Amino acid sequence: MNKRQKIVKRILLIVGAGILLGLSGFLFQHGFNFPSKSAAEKRARAFAEEINHHYSKPEGIYSFLTQDYRKTITEKEFVEAFLKERSYPYLTPLWINFKRIEMAEDNLSGTAYYDQAARLKGMVYEVPFVYENFNYYMIDFEEFPDGSYLEKFDHIPNYLINGWD
C-alpha cells in the first residue's frame, strides 16, 4: 500500500467515525434511545410528568403510547376520551409519582410502578411498556378505544353531579 492509499484510508476512517458519531448524537437528541434500564426509567418519569403537568393537552400523552394502540384510536378520539374521563377526577384521580421499574432480561419490555395520588393510601398505578421505534412506549388507557371507560359514569352519585348540598 503506497502513501496515497494510506492517506485515503485514514480519511475514510475519520469520515466514517464522524458520520457514526453524528448519527448517534442525532438519534439521542431526537429522543431515540437504545434499550436500557436508564432509558426506560427516564421515559417512565417523562410519562408521569406529561400526565401530571400537561393533562390539559392530552396529545402529548398520546405520543407516549404504543404504535399498536395508536392504530386502534386516533389522536382526536384519544383526546376526547381523556378529557371526558378527567371531567370527574374524583372517579379516577390521576396524579402519579414514579416509584420504580421492572425490566425484562432483554430490556425490551417492563412495567413502571407509580404511587397514585388518591383518597386511598397505597394505590399503585402499574403501566407496562415496550421498546419500539428506538424508544419506550407505554401500554395504558386500554379502555378508551372500546369506550368501556364510560361505564363508570353510569354510577356517579348525585352528590358528585349536583354538589354536596
**Pair 49, 14 in one domain:** no
**Pair 77, 132 in one domain:** yes
**Pair 75, 143 in one domain:** yes
**Pair 41, 16 in one domain:** no
Which helix (H) or strand (E) element contains residue 38? helix 37-53
CA–CA separation, 104 and 116 (whole Å):
23
pTM of the complete model: 0.72
**Pair 106, 128 in one domain:** yes
**Pair 20, 48 in one domain:** no
**Pair 38, 24 in one domain:** no
Phi, psi of 110, rounded to the nearest 5 degrees? 175, -165
Q: Judging by beta carbons within 10 Å of its beta carbon (0-12, 13-18, 19+), is residue 82 exposed, middle or buried?
A: buried
CB atoms within 10 A of CB 79: 16
Residue with grid cell 383526546, as numbered in its chain: 79
**Pair 24, 41 in one domain:** no
Which helix (H) or strand (E) element contains residue 96? strand 96-103
**Pair 92, 145 in one domain:** yes
**Pair 102, 64 in one domain:** yes
pLDDT, tens only, 49-106: 999 999 889 999 999 999 999 999 999 999 998 888 776 655 555 789 999 999 999 9
Q: Which of these, 94, 149, 85, lies nearest to 118 by C-alpha position?
A: 94
In the chain, the number of structural domains is: 2
15: containing domain: 1-30
pLDDT, tens only, 108-141: 999 999 998 766 677 888 999 999 999 999 999 9
